[in-house]
Amino acid sequence: MDKSETRYVIDTENQGHELSLTPRQVYEVLPDPAEVNGMIRIIDDWGEDYLFEAELFEPVQNLTELTTEITIGLT
């Protein structure tokens, strides 16, 4: 993966982070050296960037496809 490519994750578990994370919400991942320790930096629901345990999220491979699935599910 190109290091400059924007990455996204979807929150699968917000236990302990209920005020910062919304279940099933997509978040942009920011580069951070802590990734080697199982942490990822995202912009949370307050618009702040923080480190969270990577295990709370699943990677989004195709944001356009995910958006289409969500839209179809709502109609």
What per-residue confidence (pLDDT) applies to 69?
A: 54
Burial code of 41-66, b = ≥16 C-beta within 10 A, e = fewer?
A: bbebbeeeeeebebebbeebeeeeee
Q: What CATH code would you report for 7-74?
A: 2.30.30
Residue 70: count of CB within 10 angstroms of its CB: 11
**Cβ-contact 26, 8 below 8 angstroms:** yes
Give me the residue spans of the domains in the chain: 7-74
**Cβ-contact 30, 38 below 8 angstroms:** no
pTM of the model as a whole: 0.75
Band the pLDDT of 70: cuts 50, 70, 90.
low
What's the one-letter identity of residue 47?
G
The percent helix, strand, coil of the chain (3-state, each to 5) is 25, 30, 40
The whole-number average pLDDT for the span 63-73 is 59
pLDDT tens-digit series, residues 4-63: 688 999 998 878 888 888 888 889 999 999 999 999 999 988 889 999 999 999 999 877
